[in-house]
Amino acid sequence: MPIESTLPLRNWGSFVSRPDGLALKVVRDGQALLIGPPGDARLSRWALRAQGEALWLEAEDLQAAPPGDTHWLAALEAAFMHHPGHAHVQLGSTLPWPVPLLRSGTIVPGGEGRASVAREALWQIPRLWHALSADSCPLQYTLTQGRRHPRRAPKPSGTVYQRHIPWLDQTLSLRTIDIAQDLPLFHRWMNDPEVSRFWEEEGDLAKHRAYLEAIQADPRVTGLIGCFDGEPFGYFEVYWAKEDRIAPYYDVADFDRGWHALVGEARFRGKPFLTAWMPSISHHLFLDDCRTQRIVIEPRIDNQKMIHSLGRCGYAHLKAFDFPHKRAMLGMLLRERFFNEALWIPQP
């Protein structure tokens, strides 16, 4: 059964895809896709058409150089973006498929020189959205305050995730927080009554500088700034659950992740924005390490708006429990559910 979004796509004709961090402009012209670096006249051309329940993508103009795998990734992203209800795209060309996409399992060869790509597989390829994509950190164990856990990769710096949001026609990005640049913004957000009601971290600039310096020094957690088209709208903390205070409250696994969030700018608090940033946080964490199978969250039990939104974005409400500082609801999202049910598409 095709998945139908609750938010309409805008009549957009182009967006920028970023496979391997390379900006490629994708323009739709009828049933054709034109792909290339912005301002570059050398474009690859693709035919994209839906026939009943089948979605077809085919590279054209094969007399020129065959498109590279970055162009393939951009074309596949665009195909599923324009047709979000399709779970597979059929590749109608007899081209030699790009070896990296075959090895990763993104392209699955079929009979008669054809192949297909599953939406569920494509969305697990970090190269398209995860700017700092790398191999998983080798598995080694260490102890932190008596807790045994895998040694984590060094914390990132800069932009870690970017995705075009079709119902907003804007690009959502996540970047690591820069204290010198972001402290005034963070300070203002923490003193916003809507934020301080749940975070309870209101205070002066010195307090908030110390808060961010503590986050920066903590290897288990990373502070991120969320932006729409480069404009900051919120702050996120993503963490490894095994080393976190939540660990004693459930059967924590080595690569479970968790997160906290605040939306500091009031005009970004509506449903169209929430259905962009909440699945994107989940997507970022699943892409960050392929061994992460579960994401947890523990909103305060009286934050019913947040708990309801988490449910719409695929988080199961497992139980209420008592932290020393609050009564909370434990929510959990499974990797299999997120990708199998395409939970980046706003759900009814």
Judge whether 87 and 79 are in contact, CB under 8 Å.
Answer: no
Question: Which has the closest alpha carbon to 247: 256, 238, 234?
Answer: 256
Q: Which of 120, 298, 336, 341 is catalytic?
A: 298
Q: Return the axis-axis angle of helices 179-190 and 205-217, rounded to nearest 10°.
A: 120
* Domains 14-126 and 130-340 belong to one CATH topology: yes
pLDDT of residue 4: 45
Q: What is the pTM of this model?
A: 0.94
- The reply to whether CATH 3.40.630.30 applies to domain 130-340 is yes
Contacts 24+ apart (CB under 8 A), 153-160: 155/219, 155/222, 156/132, 156/222, 158/131, 158/132, 159/131, 159/132, 160/130, 160/131, 160/132, 160/224, 160/284, 160/288
Q: Which CATH number fits domain 14-126: 3.40.630, 3.30.1540, 3.30.350, 3.20.20?
A: 3.40.630
Q: Beta strand pairing status for 147-150 and 141-144? A: antiparallel
pLDDT of residue 66: 74
Read out DSSP for 137-192? PP--EEEETTEEEEPPPPPP-SEEEEEEETTTTEEEEEEE--HHHHHHHHHHHHTS
Can you tell me which residue has the tokens 């959205």? 129
Judge whether 65 and 74 are in contact, CB under 8 Å.
Answer: no
pLDDT of residue 94: 67
pLDDT of residue 63: 54
Q: Using CA atoms, how far apart are residues 235 and 219, in angstroms rounded to an integer?
A: 18
pLDDT of residue 2: 38
Is 298 known to be catalytic? yes
Tell me which residues of the chain have a pLDDT lower than 70: 1-12, 62-65, 94, 131-135, 348
Helix (H, G, I), strand (E, B) or coil at 286: helix
Q: Using CA atoms, how far apart are residues 23 and 288, in angstroms rounded to an integer?
A: 20
pLDDT of residue 28: 92
The domain segmentation of the chain, as residue ranges, is 14-126, 130-340
- CA torsion sign for 131, 290, 214, 191 is positive
Structure token digits, residue 309? 């939104």
CA geometry: angle 185, 188, 190, nearest 5 deg: 105
